[in-house]
Each structure stands twice: as structure tokens, then as C-alpha cells.
Amino acid sequence: MTPLPKLPVGLLVACLSYAWLGNAMADDTSDCEPVNGVTPICGFDSPEDLEVMAGDRLIIVSEYGGLSGKYPGALSSYHTEHGHVVRLFPSPDAGIGTPGAQTSMWGDKNCPGPPSAAFDPHGIHHRADLNPERLLVVNHGGRESIEIFEVKLDDAGDNVSLTWRGCIVAAPGTWMNDVVGLPGGGLAASNMMPRDFTREQIFATEASKAESGYALEWHIDSGWRQIPDTGGALVNGIEASADGKILYINFYLSNKVAAVERETGKRLWTIELEGPDNSSWAPDGKLLVAAHRDTTLKTILECAETDIPYCPIAYQIMAVDPATGEHSLRYEGAGAPMAAATVGVQIGQTLYLGSFAGERMGRVELTP
């Protein structure tokens, strides 16, 4: 998700009305108990993005601190069978790899060093196709960057550890949301809008649907490149085909999802979908797109700025055919016990949901 920057509750927030939130949650339970077919998984702080590890026992969770980078976040793991939650980074057990005789810095050779205590993860992507495996993380805290972690999964698939191995500082002026790896070690990312955009400009983009950002890619030998014809209003989630030739890009305020040829920017298909956020690949090969319904940036701000167990915004998880764009509803929800889903990842017939606000993930058993 791309909520507005988290700020201290001050004059601006005090002037906002929280009547909508109060009314929406008045009849809902805030207890961490199953309701309406959704089992909440509590103990997180804004679990905005999720990545499933090999073996399907572990999910890496990006606990999001907000766009401004003022509030730190974390990377954690959730065990789907035991229910254990483990802090991965920052953590006393997390490693910091340094260049030496046996290790080298990953990413940009000019990376200034490990992230600071302000580390604030947003979109994440697990690269199981590389050896060693790695996790790409959009970071807003201390610097705008892609942080790169080495991923180690134990033989049983019950424990995962992260070691920071390098970074790529963002292209000047960009404000990223999500990232996806490309064959050969490169990556593509979504640039939502200029880094110096004010709240007024963000609200103006919502009203006008004017182009505010684009997709871009990075390679070690060529650096950053804007991908042509990928402009849209608040570019959000991004995924790639296995060969890296096609990108699937979500345009949150444009209410569109598009399949784009990475080299040329040619759009292979475009579909209308309200508020598309993050995407993931389902076991059946479909692209699962989490989307928000019947909401506004003002409402999103209220959720992000309020200490609530969950944000009640209505959402859908849409299954999209990557070849044609044909799409159908896989799941939808609103209200208790967890809503405002920014991502859905599917393991077997179980759907796990993350959100940009609140203290919980969600688990849903799908009907085959």
C-alpha cells in the first residue's frame, strides 16, 4: 500500500474527523478472534508486504513504518504451522556482511553501508532463483534505497535468517513502493511520485489522476533506467514474468493494472481495477492483486495515523491471468477482524493477508 507519510498526531491529524473510523468499527470486535471467515494473526505492526519461503512453512513479513521514513519498521518471519513470529532485522541475531576475502558487497559498489536504526521496509521480494538466495527491500528510513539481504533457510524449512549484504541508493528524486528481481541480478521498482511531493500534491493527484510516477530498472553495469510508457498515478505493486521480459504494474490512483514489455514499455493488456496495491503469484499461475474499494486517501491517512487493531477498508483479492488480463474475484472482505489488505499470498488453499495499518495479518481458507 501507499498510504501518506506517517506523522506525529498533531494539528493536521487533529483537524481530521475520525467519525468514519469510529462508526466503521463500532459494531466490530477488536479482539484477536476469528470473524466472518477470517482468522486474525496478531502481534505485528503494519504487515504491509509478505513473501513465502520454500517449503511453505515460513512467510517473511515487511512491518512498515510509513512513507516518510520517520518511524522505523522491521522484517519478521511467521511460521504457518507453529504460529511463531521471529524478528529478523533489525535483531541481535541479524548479520551485517562486510566486504572481505570471502564476501563482496552486493548491489551498488557505492552503497554507503548498512541501513541505520531508522530502517523502514516497504515492498519486498524474495529471490529464490539466485544462489545464495536474497531478499530485496524498499527502504524509506535514513535513505531511499533498495536493501539487499542474504536469505538462509534451515534444512527443515522452520527457521530463516537474514544477513545484510548491500544496497542500491534510489535514483535522485524517486520515491519507491515495490521491487522485483530480474534475471541476471538486476531489478525493477515502482516510483510512486517525486520524493519532494507535498500532501497537497498527493491529494491533487488523487483528484486529477495525473501521471505522478513510473517503473524503473537497475543493473549493475548501467545503473537506473526509466522504463518507457509506464507512467501513471501513484505506481504501486510490481511483479515480473519468470524470464523478466514482462512487468505487471499496479497503478493505484489510476485504477489500472497493466502488463508491460520491459524493454519497450509496450502495454500488452490493461484492465480497470479500483485501488490495486501489491501482487503475488498464486500456485495456479495467476497473479493475485490486492485492491482497495470505496475509499479515499483521507480515509487511508486516518487509518495510518490512528492506533487501531485493524483498518476496516473494504478490499478484494483478484486473480488475474498474466497472459490475457482476464480476472476474477478470489476473495473479498471488509471490517472485522482484519481488512484493508495490501497483499494476499496463497499457500495451497490458504490465503494470508497483509495490511499497511494495524497489528495483524489475516488467514482465510479458500473454497477449492
The pLDDT of residue 103 is: 54
In contact, 277 and 343? CB cutoff 8 Å? yes
The pLDDT of residue 99 is: 56
Strand order in the sheet with 276-281: 276-281, 287-292, 315-320, 327-333
Pull the grid cell for residue 303.
Answer: 487509518
Angle at 362 between CA 358 and CA 367, to 5 degrees: 155
Pairing of strands 350-355, 287-292: unpaired
- Per-residue pLDDT, averaged over 253-258, amounts to 98
- Evaluate if residue 143 carries a pLDDT over 80: yes
Could you tell me the pLDDT band of residue 102, with boundaries at 50, 70 and 90? very low
The pLDDT of residue 223 is: 97
> What are the extents of the domains in the chain?
11-365
pLDDT (tens digit, 9 = 90+) per residue, 30-74? 689 999 999 999 999 999 999 999 999 999 999 999 887 788 999
DSSP 183: G
The pLDDT of residue 13 is: 33
Give 52 or 19, the one with higher predicted confidence.
52
Pairing of strands 235-240, 74-79: unpaired
- Evaluate if residue 91 carries a pLDDT over 70: yes
Contacts for 310 with CB less than 8 Å, ≥ 6 apart: 30, 40, 336, 337, 338, 339, 340, 355, 357, 358, 359, 360
Find the length of the chain. 368
Could you tell me the pLDDT band of residue 6, with boundaries at 50, 70 and 90? very low
In contact, 273 and 256? CB cutoff 8 Å? yes
Q: What is the mean pLDDT of the chain?
A: 90
- Evaluate if residue 3 carries a pLDDT over 60: no
Rg (CA), the chain: 19
- Evaluate if residue 307 carries a pLDDT over 60: yes
pLDDT (tens digit, 9 = 90+) per residue, 184-233? 899 999 999 999 999 899 999 999 999 999 999 999 999 999 999 999 99
- State whether residue 217 is helix, strand or coil: strand
The pLDDT of residue 5 is: 46
The pLDDT of residue 70 is: 80
The pLDDT of residue 30 is: 62
Pull the grid cell for residue 292.
Answer: 482497495
CA distance 28 to 292: 19
Tell the CATH topology of 11-365: Neuraminidase (2.120.10)
Could you tell me the pLDDT band of residue 98, with boundaries at 50, 70 and 90? low
- Put simply, whether the predicted model's pTM sits higher than 0.85 gets the answer yes
Selection from 126, 151, 153 nearest residue 137 by Cα:
126
- Provide the strand spans (E) within 80-120: 85-89, 95-96, 106-107
Q: What whole-number percentage of the chain has pLDDT above 70? A: 90
- Per-residue pLDDT, averaged over 281-305, amounts to 94
CA distance 162 to 165: 9
CA distance 95 to 222: 29
- State whether residue 38 is helix, strand or coil: strand
Could you tell me the pLDDT band of residue 20, with boundaries at 50, 70 and 90? very low
CA distance 171 to 144: 9
pLDDT (tens digit, 9 = 90+) per residue, 150-174? 999 998 889 999 999 999 999 999 9
The pLDDT of residue 301 is: 85
* Side-chain half-sphere CA neighbours of 239 within 13 A: 25
Beta bridge partner(s), residue 243: none
The pLDDT of residue 331 is: 98
- Evaluate if residue 2 carries a pLDDT over 50: no
Could you tell me the pLDDT band of residue 97, with boundaries at 50, 70 and 90? confident
